[in-house]
Amino acid sequence: MSSLSALPPLDPLLKKSAKRTRDIFASCPDEGLNDDEKSARIRLSVKLNDEYKEFRELPAALMAQQGAVGPARPKEQRKAITAGPSAELSDSKVIARIDNTPTPQPSTFSTSSKLSQALALHKTTRTIQPTYHPPWKLMRVISGHLGWVRSVAVEPGNKWFATGAGDRVIKIWDLASGELKLSLTGHISTVRGLAVSARHPYLFSCGEDKMVKCWDLEANKVIRHYHGHLSGVYALSLHPTLDILVTSGRDASARVWDMRTKAQIHVLSGHSATVAAVACQESDPQVITGSMDSTVRLWDLAAGKSTVTLTHHKKAVRSLAVHPTEYSFASGSTGGNNIKKWKCPDGNFVFNFPGHNAIINTLSVNSEGVFFSGGDNGTLTFWDYNTGTPFQNMDDVPQPGSLEAEAGVFCSTFDMTGTRLITGGADKTIKVYAEQSR
């Protein structure tokens, strides 16, 4: 123990050793450091040769297409790199020595006026003329619901349509006459979504009571329930070719169901707020969702995962509309530039539909390119879908007995021919609009 305590402390010895080591190496510098300039040139020339040799000249096929436009490459041979005495040589100086700037050639335009004409032509904006659409007018007002009409769906045979409302009742109406054919009761809260199958005699409904129901239209009763949503279900959509149903709601998820077995295939999770709109189409993306978290997501149905998230909207996305023939869709929210058009399958932004400054509750589009948007304040706008040009603005007139504030439009759909538009609103009525004859 006495011998250990007699040893000197370690820290001063370490510092002393490090100082001596530094002094030794500082006193005899590396002789190879004098070759800096030469090695820099060699290293840079090798790098230029390795990385840029293939791109100094275009391939013969592209060269033939290029033609003699703009400055040509200099014809003289490149000078070899020669090592010579110089002061400290920076990388930029080495590059300047290796790569001579090509000499400019005169323009192929014969006169400056032709060049200015070409530039002016290039800068000219080419505007697409909108297609003419005849104006629309209100043809029929149908009363019968005792609450806000929140959902509407047209039967594929175009003979009747169904509506769901805050009075918890689903009503079936004759499309030609507007007469009530049937009332279906079973939901215990507002019916928020409806869809009629094109391949089965089924009507699907969802509501704020967390229920998703399948109605057999031959027996007019519920034959299946789809259990799984943790809160109100706000939207549903049927896949056009597969026997699956997609629903979405306040639990910030969209759920994919097997129509027949009632099994839950996928939970499409990723949104951080209520998923207020969902749409299905035959080709990718087969499922599109719009959420109150102000995003639109495109989903890979096979994997059950989100492929693209569109973050262009500033506020909650409440509505979606997929074009029946064109490979595109539109989304609507609130605030400025609140209706946007997107191109499938990657969700490329096309343009905004400007001017409808309201909370957009519903969007619909027909195969003729008539695009409809309905606002929470009762404003209706008809657009040319191809150019985003509005061709008609209208106001929803509240029916007698309703407050002026009850002019909101909540749901809309075109019939199968695209010549009639059915809307449901806050005044508890269903309105049918039609094209005026030319």
Does the residue 18 lie in any domain? no
Q: How far apart are CA 191 and CA 204, in angstroms?
A: 11
The tokens describing 319, both together, are 């509505």
Q: Which of 70-79, 143-152, 169-178, 411-420 has the lowest mean pLDDT?
A: 70-79
Q: How far apart are CA 194 and CA 7, in angstroms?
A: 89
Does the residue 340 lie in any domain? yes
Residue 304 · residue 266 · CB < 8 Å: yes
Does the residue 43 lie in any domain? no
Using pLDDT thresholds of 50, 70 and 90, give the confidence band for residue 308.
very high
- Higher local confidence (pLDDT), 419 or 114: 419
Tens-digit pLDDT profile for residues 193-229: 999 999 999 999 999 999 999 999 999 999 999 999 9
Helix (H, G, I), strand (E, B) or coil at 410: strand
Report the mean per-residue pLDDT for the chain. Answer: 85
Q: How far apart are CA 378 and CA 426, in angstroms?
A: 9
Helix (H, G, I), strand (E, B) or coil at 117: helix
Does the residue 360 lie in any domain? yes
**Left, alpha or beta for 144 (phi > 0: left; psi -120 to 50: alpha)?**
left
Host domain of residue 216: 136-435
Q: What is the pLDDT of residue 284?
A: 87
CATH number at residue 239: 2.130.10.10
Does the residue 101 lie in any domain? no
Tens-digit pLDDT profile for residues 236-276: 999 999 999 999 999 999 999 999 999 999 999 999 999 99
Using pLDDT thresholds of 50, 70 and 90, give the confidence band for residue 360.
very high
Mean pLDDT of 111-130: 67
Does the residue 67 lie in any domain? no
Helix (H, G, I), strand (E, B) or coil at 39: helix
Tens-digit pLDDT profile for residues 196-206: 999 999 999 99
Q: How far apart are CA 103 and CA 73, in angstroms?
A: 8
Does the residue 40 lie in any domain? no
Q: What is the pLDDT of residue 39?
A: 83
Tens-digit pLDDT profile for residues 29-46: 555 455 578 888 888 888
Residue partners of 194: CB distance under 8 A and separation at least 6: 151, 152, 153, 162, 163, 164, 170, 203, 204, 205, 236
Q: Which of 71-85, 119-133, 302-316, 362-376 has the lowest mean pLDDT?
A: 71-85
Q: How far apart are CA 43 and CA 98, in angstroms?
A: 12
Give the CA diameter of the chain.
115
Using pLDDT thresholds of 50, 70 and 90, give the confidence band for residue 287.
very high
Residue partners of 298: CB distance under 8 A and separation at least 6: 285, 287, 288, 306, 307, 308, 310, 344, 345, 346, 347
Q: Which of 57-61, 192-196, 424-428 has the lowest mean pLDDT?
A: 57-61
Helix (H, G, I), strand (E, B) or coil at 88: coil
Number of domain units in the chain: 1
Q: Which of 11-25, 150-164, 165-179, 344-358 has the lowest mean pLDDT?
A: 11-25
Q: Answer whether residue 299 shows pLDDT above 80.
A: yes
Q: What is the pLDDT of residue 6?
A: 74
Q: What is the pLDDT of residue 127?
A: 63
| Number of residues written out for the chain | 438
Residue partners of 308: CB distance under 8 A and separation at least 6: 285, 297, 298, 346, 347
| Percent of the residues in the chain that have a pLDDT greater than 90, as a whole number | 64
Q: Answer whether residue 102 shows pLDDT above 90.
A: no
Q: Are strands 409-414 and 389-395 parallel, antiparallel or unpaired?
A: unpaired
Does the residue 152 lie in any domain? yes
The tokens describing 147, both together, are 């609450």
